[in-house]
Structure 1
Amino acid sequence: MIFPPEIISTMNLESPLGFAALILFSLGGETKAHINKSALQHDSIRISFSSQKIGTIRAITWRFEKNGKLFTILDSTEKPYYIYDSQFRDRLLMSDDLYTMTITDLTLQDAGVYTVDVTDTNGSADIYSFNVTVYEPTPLPTITTHEEKDRERCNVTLICSVPSSSSDLSYYWKSRHQDSTYQPYSNGSIIQISVPPDHQDMEYLCIVHNPVDQKNVSTSVKSCSGNRSSSLFSRSHFFIIPLLMALIILLVTIIFIYLKNKKRHRASEEHKHKENRNTEIDYIEVTTQPREDSQRVEMENNQNRGKPPPQKMKAETVYTTLQHPQPTYT
């Protein structure tokens, strides 16, 4: 079956990754065409048809169907022609002959089935159906690297991921050495690389795409020699770590002894202070005076008559130090 050139032209999309599939058949004088088209969110899409009824067309009707609901976009039998649904307000562009409809600033809600009925003056109709899919832009991917090293090889796992749960995304990898061109490597979001000792640096490119958009990111896998030097550095930890631990233990011991001696010295000073504080000096005045009975006093008075009075005896003071017994510490 030979398709009219105008129908085939509708298969060319604005995006290089877009696609269109055309199914065309004729039944009882009616021509029906079904076309699949894809576009990127916020881009524009152009839907066009061509009919053999040029010059005899009586009516053209554009409709949009989604989730079982049918909306009339344009009916040429109405005056004026355009009957816009609010969803497409200010975003529809129609050609003068009404054969081409362009939707700008696409949203995810614009995805659905668009149909156009073309009826001639004899009552026969051509029906064109366009199944439009709108995709979100592909997020920018990131690559996570996990390495496992041994003496002979470096096993590297590269994980390519995007912040999206869309099931329409596909992953594939390319690789290149230095300034050479990229070569296909593998499909899937995860690849595993076993790097031998004589391996030279390689660059790996992860490409994430949906039918209308793609993003990519690259990473370099270093030579195994660099990894081996890192391994040697890791082995030196077996000597450095025990030495550091011994130094730490020694430092903690010195600090402990210093604090213990300082505490003991402080306790001794406090003990001396308590002893000095508990020491008291009592003063007792002891006076010696002979016994004075009545006879002796009378005799002394008779003997000393006419004599100057005797001098009084002086008081003698005796000093002694009383100390509390020293406390016994256990």
Structure 2
Amino acid sequence: MLTYMCCLLLLFICVEGVYGAGTEEVKSVSVSVTEGDSISLNTDVKVQKDEQILWTFGPQETRIAEIHRQNIYIDGTDMIFEKVLQMDNQTGSLTIRNIRTEHTGLYKLQIFSSRGTSYKRFNVTVYAPLPGPVITRDYPSSSSESRCSLVCSVVNVSDVTLSWYAGISVLSNISVSDLSISLSLPLEVEYQDKNTYSCVIYNTISNQTKHLDNITQLCSEAVQSYVHSESVIPSLIYAVLGMTAVALLFFHVRSRQVDKRTSPLAPAVPRILQWMEMRREERRRGK
């Protein structure tokens, strides 16, 4: 029995040696890059005459580049890689120029030789350039005379975090992983606040910052703008009513000239003019 077990163990070792010989452990590398940049996926080897270098992309492992018998082959049939791939004939390293978001995915390197096969994987993530955040007054969400509500906003972003900072301290933040979404983050401050505030949008490789330079100016300008818009509305109403009264008076005169009879619109004209005069008087008293 002991002899039988020893024979089985020796057979297992021999089989394991045959199937495991020459195959190296798969290495995996994660790479992040901004859209428009160029990246190089390095093999860390020097190509030998008997070696074949093969690059594939995506879950289907589509061939995109290859060195075979020292000849370079670049696959130009896949439109997303057209005119963007370059391969080093000395190392087999793959360069992607002017990289785009559709180039995000898994790149697999296989090196075949008489000594066996080695593998390497590159998980590439391509981020769109970050837009600059915009700070505006959130009016009239707060009407306090001493406090002011602000909003920091960004549009068409994904996989980012938006944060308010006071100096180097984080006050609040919001994160999103969806595609092409708009984010807004509010902040309430004192008009006379002397702290240094900034709004920052960032992902794993880059960031954009907008500093809040003058709290008092931003808040007061927003209030003045709102007050101005409020004062314009009554003026427009009075202008429309004035033109209506003039039109009614014109039709009244025309009707008198045509048939010498009293127009049914005539009584309305004095009442409109009297009402407009009363409103002007009320506004003068209010001032």
1:82 corresponds in structure 2 to 72
Mapping 1:186-265, distance limit 5 Å:
186-188=172-174, 189-196=183-190, 199-200=192-193, 204-219=197-212, 220-222=214-216
2:279 corresponds in structure 1 to none
Aligned counterparts of 1:141 and 1:225: Cα–Cα separation in 2: 18
How far apart are 1:171 and its partner, in Å?
1.0
How far apart are 1:224 and its partner, in Å?
11
1:170 to 145, 161, 164: 161
2:129 corresponds in structure 1 to 137
1:31 corresponds in structure 2 to 25
Amino acid corresponding to residue 43 of structure 1 in structure 2: D
User: Unpaired runs of 5+ in structure 2?
Assistant: 1-19, 175-182, 262-287
Distance 1:222 1:139, change over 3 A: same
1:97 to 90, 100, 122: 90
Q: CA RMSD in A?
A: 4.6
Aligned counterparts of 2:218 and 2:82: Cα–Cα separation in 1: 61
Kindly indicate whether the alpha-carbon contact (under 8 Å) linking 1:206 and 1:218 is maintained by their aligned counterparts in 2: yes
Distance 1:64 1:143, change over 3 A: farther
Q: TM-score normalised to the size of structure 2?
A: 0.57
User: Unpaired runs of 5+ in structure 1?
Assistant: 1-26, 177-181, 269-330
Kindly indicate whether the alpha-carbon contact (under 8 Å) linking 2:43 and 2:91 is maintained by their aligned counterparts in 1: no
Matched position secondary structure for 1:199: coil
Over residues 203-232 of structure 1, what are the superposed CA-to-partner deviations in whole Å (9 max), with x where a residue is unaligned? 5432223333333334442179959x96xx
Over residues 140-160 of structure 1, what are the superposed CA-to-partner deviations in whole Å (9 max), with x where a residue is unaligned? 333332134556532403131
Amino acid corresponding to residue 167 of structure 1 in structure 2: S
Q: TM-score normalised to the size of structure 1?
A: 0.50
Amino acid corresponding to residue 143 of structure 1 in structure 2: I
Mapping 1:50-65, distance limit 5 Å:
50=44, 58-65=50-57
2:103 corresponds in structure 1 to 110
How far apart are 1:71 and its partner, in Å?
1.2
Kindly indicate whether the alpha-carbon contact (under 8 Å) linking 2:27 and 2:119 is maintained by their aligned counterparts in 1: yes
Distance 1:267 1:110, change over 3 A: closer
How far apart are 1:109 and its partner, in Å?
2.9
State the number of aligned residues: 219
Kindly indicate whether the alpha-carbon contact (under 8 Å) linking 1:57 and 1:118 is maintained by their aligned counterparts in 2: no
Is 1:124 the counterpart of 2:110? The answer is: no
Aligned counterparts of 1:157 and 1:141: Cα–Cα separation in 2: 13
2:34 to 33, 40, 64: 40
- Structure number with greater Rg is 1
